[in-house]
C-alpha cells in the first residue's frame, strides 16, 4: 500500500499564494479574473533546508508538487527567510515585510537633531583645545625665558662666589690652586687645579679639610645645593681625584688613576738599578697610577749568581720607588731573561 504522503489528491485553490523554487511568484504581470479550477497536488514529505537547518512545516504550509514543479507556501518561505507574510484580503495582495521594528519619522528627526548638537559641541571643544594648546605653548615659552634669566643671574652669582673662593682658598695648605664653579644654585660642579706634587704632598686628612672648607663656603651661599667636584693636575689637566658631598658638607674623596710618565720612570730606574752588584738590568713600565706593570730584563746566568738578599733588595727598591715617588697604588713585576724574554720570577 502506498504511503498517504505520496497519494495524489485534488486540491482547490481559490487564491494562489504559493512560491515556486524557480523564484517566480506569477508568470504574468496582468491580473486575471477569479477562476476556480480543480488541480491535483502531490504531497511527498518535501523538506525545506535553509542554511543547513530544516524549516518546520505543518499540514497548512507543507510544500507540494504540481505538474513537476515544487511549490512552497509564502508563509513557509517567509519563515525560512525571516520575513513577515500577510494576506490583504480586501485588496487581494500578499504583503511581505522585514521582521523588524519600524522607526517613525519623529525618532529619525530626534536622532538627527542629536547628531547636529553633538557636532556643534565637538567643534566647540576643538576650538577650545586649540586655544589651550596656544596657551600652553606661550606658558612654556615664558617659563623658558624665566629659566634663562635665572640661569644668567645664577651664573653671575656663581662667578662672584668663585672669585671669593679663590681669594680665600687658593693659597690654603700651599696648594696654589685655581677654583672654578659651574652649574646653578641647586647643582654646582667644582673644579680645582693644582700641580700633582702639591696634591700628593697633602695628607689624606689635609686634603679632606681643604675640600670641606671650600664646600662649607659654597653651602653658606647655596644651602640646598648638590656639590661634586674634581681635582686636576694643572700641568696636563689629568684627574687626580673626584669628590662628592652630603647635606652636611662632609666630603668623600675618590682617587683617580692618572697616566704615568713611563719614559721618565724607565730612565730613573735605569739610573738607579741599570747596573746593580755588577749585573746589568733593563726596565720597561706600563699602566697607570692605580696599577703599574714593571718588566726587569737580565741575563739568566747573571741573575742566578746573585744572592737572594741582593735579588730582594733590587725588586723591593723598584716597588718602593714606584709607590713612594710615583704614587702608584699597586705594582706587578716580572724578571725576564734578556735572551728570549722567558719569565724567571714575579715580584
Longest C-alpha distance within the chain, in Å? 149
Q: Quick one: pLDDT at residue 16?
A: 39
Do 225 and 190 touch, CB atoms closer than 8 A? no
Closest Cα partner for 255 from 187, 209, 200? 200
Could you tell me if residue 232 is left (phi over 0), alpha (psi between -120 and 50 degrees) or otherwise beta? beta
Q: Quick one: pLDDT at residue 2?
A: 42
Enter the pTM of the model.
0.37
Q: Quick one: pLDDT at residue 173?
A: 92
Cell of 223: 644651602
Task: Establish how many alpha carbons lie within 13 A of residue 34's alpha carbon, considering only the half-sphere containing its beta carbon.
Answer: 5
Q: Quick one: pLDDT at residue 338?
A: 96
Q: Quick one: pLDDT at residue 257?
A: 73
Q: Quick one: pLDDT at residue 103?
A: 76
Helix (H, G, I), strand (E, B) or coil at 225: coil
Can you tell me the distance from the alpha carbon of 309 to that of 115, in angstroms, rounded to the nearest whole number? Answer: 104
Q: Quick one: pLDDT at residue 329?
A: 87
Q: Quick one: pLDDT at residue 149?
A: 61
Closest Cα partner for 252 from 284, 224, 227, 222? 227
* Total count of residues recorded for the chain: 347
Q: Quick one: pLDDT at residue 146?
A: 76
> Residue 246, exposed/middle/buried by CB under 10 A (0-12, 13-18, 19+)?
exposed
Tens place of pLDDT for every residue, the chain, 347 residues? Answer: 444 444 444 433 333 344 444 333 444 444 556 778 888 888 888 998 988 889 888 888 889 898 889 999 888 888 888 888 898 989 999 999 888 776 788 888 999 999 999 999 999 999 999 888 888 988 998 888 777 665 555 546 899 999 999 999 999 999 999 999 999 888 999 999 999 999 999 999 999 999 999 999 999 999 889 999 999 999 888 888 999 998 888 999 987 777 889 999 999 999 999 999 999 999 999 998 888 999 999 999 999 999 999 999 999 999 999 998 888 989 999 999 999 999 999 99
Amino acid at each position: 500500500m502506498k504511503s498517504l504522503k505520496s497519494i495524489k489528491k485534488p486540491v482547490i485553490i481559490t487564491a494562489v499564494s504559493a512560491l515556486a523554487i524557480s523564484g517566480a511568484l506569477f508568470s504574468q504581470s496582468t491580473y486575471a479574473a477569479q477562476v476556480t479550477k480543480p488541480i491535483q497536488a502531490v504531497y511527498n514529505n518535501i523538506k525545506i533546508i535553509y542554511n543547513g537547518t530544516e524549516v518546520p512545516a505543518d499540514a497548512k504550509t507543507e510544500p507540494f508538487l504540481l505538474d513537476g514543479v515544487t511549490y512552497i507556501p509564502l508563509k513557509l518561505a517567509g519563515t525560512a527567510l525571516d520575513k513577515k507574510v500577510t494576506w490583504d484580503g480586501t485588496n487581494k495582495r500578499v504583503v511581505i515585510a522585514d521582521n523588524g521594528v519600524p522607526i517613525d519619522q519623529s525618532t529619525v528627526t530626534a536622532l538627527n537633531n542629536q547628531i547636529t548638537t553633538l557636532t556643534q559641541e565637538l567643534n566647540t571643544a576643538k576650538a577650545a583645545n586649540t586655544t589651550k594648546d596656544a596657551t600652553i605653548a606661550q606658558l612654556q615659552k615664558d617659563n623658558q625665558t624665566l629659566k634663562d634669566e635665572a640661569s644668567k643671574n645664577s651664573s653671575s652669582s656663581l662667578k662672584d662666589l668663585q672669585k671669593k673662593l679663590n681669594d680665600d682658598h687658593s693659597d690654603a695648605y700651599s696648594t696654589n690652586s685655581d677654583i672654578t664653579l659651574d652649574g646653578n644654585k641647586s647643582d654646582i660642579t667644582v673644579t680645582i687645579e693644582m700641580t700633582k706634587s702639591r696634591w700628593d704632598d697633602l695628607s689624606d686628612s689635609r686634603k679632606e679639610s681643604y675640600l670641606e672648607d671650600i664646600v662649607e663656603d659654597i653651602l653658606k651661599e647655596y644651602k640646598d645645593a648638590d656639590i661634586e667636584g674634581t681635582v686636576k693636575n694643572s700641568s696636563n689637566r689629568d684627574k687626580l681625584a673626584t669628590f662628592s658631598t652630603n647635606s652636611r658638607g662632609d666630603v668623600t674623596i675618590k682617587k683617580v688613576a692618572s697616566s704615568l710618565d713611563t719614559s721618565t720612570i724607565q730612565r730613573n730606574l735605569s739610573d738607579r738599578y741599570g747596573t746593580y752588584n755588577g749585573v746589568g738590568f733593563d726596565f720597561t713600565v706600563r699602566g697607570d697610577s692605580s696599577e703599574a706593570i714593571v718588566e726587569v730584563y737580565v741575563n739568566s746566568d747573571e741573575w742566578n749568581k746573585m744572592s737572594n738578599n741582593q735579588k730582594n733588595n733590587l725588586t723591593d727598591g723598584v716597588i718602593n720607588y714606584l709607590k713612594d715617588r710615583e704614587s702608584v697604588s699597586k705594582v706587578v713585576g716580572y724578571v725576564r731573561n734578556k735572551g728570549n724574554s722567558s719569565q724567571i720570577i714575579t715580584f
